Structure formats: structure tokens, C-alpha cells
Amino acid sequence: MLSAAINKFKSKEAVIGIVGLGYVGLPLMLRYNSIGYCVLGIDIDPVKVSKLNRGESYIEHIPCASVASARESGFSATTDFSRVAECDALILCVPTPLNKYREPDMSFVINTTDALKPYLRAGQIVSLESTTYPGTTEEELLPRVQEGGLKVGEDIFLVYSPEREDPGNPNFETRTIPKVIGGHTPTCLEVGIALYEQAIDQVVPVSSTKAAEMTKLLENIHRAVNIGLVNEMKTVADRMGIDIFEVVDAAATKPFGFTPYYPGPGLGGHCIPIDPFYLTWKAREYGLHTRFIELSGEVNQAMPEYVLGKLMDGLNDSGKALKGSRILVLGIAYKKNVDDMRESPSVEIMELIEAKGGVVAYSDPHVPMFPHMREHHFELNSEPLTSENLASFDAVVLATDHDKFDYALIESASKLIVDSRGKYRVPAPHIIRA
């Protein structure tokens, strides 16, 4: 069974099943399709499936032409989980959000695995890519995969290989980002390497699924902690009348021992604001309290309130209250030059403004209409950035610094600018650093 599975991947005779066709699954599908594999996409969202089968993309940085080309060369999408039996590899790319108590919500992983169970067969490999706490693969997937009598490591293979995607970064793509992988058994790891080494330039094997799960958390906690540090430094520097962006730029000239992180209005994306809480939750099972990680989370979560305070101060200096004022939020995606709205701090800023009685609007060249989200919704469309329109708002809040914004126009036409990204380095009476 082992050699047959490995040979099938190396000869590209295997059918690759991608379960979850979002920001992780869709690029992975395109990569496997481009190198000659037959790829089947499985998703519970019939709208996504219909669009993909029409050759359309629903992610800005993935062109429709790429999806259409994949369709022409054999890719198809389905909501029918019985087709799992056709696949030799099942790569799970499903969400792992937090619940309202900031505890891991494993329902997507568990429900997806339960949906696969009736159709699993000998010779398949199941790979979980969703970010999660150490032990998930062993505790949640292993018993479910073996429930029908298949023996993991002999009949069927189980691995964990954390997703690594950076939407909007032109320097990296799925192929060029090294892929960490851990297997439940040594034979699982062998098959996992055979699966991924065909599509990824560098595969990085580790000793277990737990080690691979912890690797992903360390990567993102490293960023969260350092961003928390620089956000706290921002508040200290501001109180002292020091430009934190100037300080970070100067510190970054040191050629060793320092990595520049820049402050902002909070954390966004599906990884950095969420992943640390997966480890803090699991650590409590071992009687440990991850104070350092949780403190950085508190600092980062406080940033939208900090921006709101700066906005209110700026309006007060102009003799205005936030209540009744018209506020334009510039950029609602969580990072520059993408359309990804997941966990965007801009949305929290909008909600805080509205809760204080402000009349909120937004402008984002990558998000023409405010999307339906699980926890947030505004009936708004993106405002055009013209001199007249900018001048009609009492203040604008620069929350996401897209390259497509005309910053000279924004500076000249706006009455008050609250800059949370350090885009305006030259001081001006109507610009407030936040």
C-alpha cells in the first residue's frame, strides 16, 4: 500500500481532492492543476462551486483566467462529498475561527472530517492544513479516520501540513513557500512528502503532527508578540512626542539582532489575531498560563479603541463631537493591496464609530461592496475618492494603506486625517498619528 501510494503521486496519476476552496485551497488547487494532476474541489458553499465551474474567481488576486484554464484542463468543483472516494489525497483547508469566548471553534474541521468518513478508502492520504492547536490531528482526525476499520499508517495515511499563504505578496507563491509536514507514523510522513514534493519546491519534514501544528503557531505568535510590542511602544512614543515610525526605521538600520515591525490599528487576517489563542487554550490543559502571549493579544486588541480615541481627540480640537459627525474609513481589508476582510481591525473601528453615534462610511478600491460576514455587516458601498467627497466628511481614518489610494489628494482635500499606518511622515495641523 505504501509504495503504491507513493508511486501514484510521483507519476501524477493520483487525483487530488481539495476540501475548502478559499484563500488557501484555491491557490493549492491551481498549483496541482498546473503541474498535471487531476484536481477535484469540494466545498459546502454552492455559490463558490458554481462560480468555479463557470471558470470564475471570487478572490481578487486570483484571476478568472487562471480558474478558467484549470477548468479546461480537468478541474471541477462539487458540493457532493460522496466524490471523496474518487480522490487519492484529501487536503483539508477549512476555517478554524474562535468562538465568542475566544476558544477554538473546531466545528469546521470536525464536521468536514465527519462528512468525509463514509467515503474514505484504503490507499488515501488525509492532510489537514488548517491552523490549530497541537494534538488536533491525533485527537480529532485520527479516531474519525479509523472509525470505519482503516488502520492509519497501513491502509490510510494521515498528516498535518500547515498552510502558508501571504495574499498580496508578489515575492512568494504556493510553489516557493517551504512546506512543513508531520505524519502520524513514519509511513504517513513518507506518503505526505510524496504528495507535497511534487508541487512545492522545498518540503520540511518534522517528527510528528504535533510538532508541525506547533510550528505554525510559533510562526504566527512570533509576529503577534512583536506587533504587540511595537503597538505598545507606539503609545509610549506618542505620549513622549516621538515619532515611532522614525524610531523603527532608525532601529532597522542595525544589520543584526533586530527585525522591524510597524504599528497599526490592530491585527487582521485569519492567522495572527486568532492562532495565539489556540495555544493559550491548549496550554491550560497542561496547567500552564501563557502570560506573555496573552498580554500581546490584549495590547493588539486595544488598538481599534486607541484609534477611536485619537479620532475623538481630533474632532474635539475642531469643536466637534463624534456623535453626528461623518467619518470615512479608508481601507477595510485587513492588509494593503488585498480584498481579504477576515478579522479586519477596520471593521471594528467602524463599529466603534457607529456605537458612539458617528455616521460611518468607507472607501476601499479592493472591496467595492461591504461583504456579508459571520459577525459584522454594514449596508455600504465603497465611496469614491474625489476632492468634493473627501471634503464632505468631518474626518477620514486611514486604516489600511492600499497603494491605489491617492494620498496627495486625501491630504489636500480632507478636513482631518487620523493616520494609523504612518503614511504621512511630514507633520501637518490636520493630520493626527494613531
Q: What angle do CA 83, 85, 88 make, to 5 degrees?
A: 115
Give me the sheet containing 89-92, strands edge to edge. Answer: 76-78, 38-42, 15-19, 89-92, 125-128, 157-160, 179-183, 203-206
Nearest to 330 by CA among 244, 252, 419: 419
CA–CA gap between residue 378 and residue 399 (Å, rounded): 17
Q: Quick check: 336 and 403 in contact, CB under 8 A?
A: yes
Whole-angstrom Cα distance, residue 260 to residue 273? 19
Q: Mutual orientation of helices 291-301 and 303-317 as an angle, nearest 10°?
A: 30
The residue among 178, 113, 198 whose CA lies nearest residue 152 is 113
Amino acid at 4: A
Catalytic residue among 38, 87, 188, 271: 271
- Phi, psi of 42, rounded to the nearest 5 degrees: -125, 130
Residue 271 annotated among the catalytic residues of the structure: yes
Instruction: Please list the active-site residues.
Output: 271
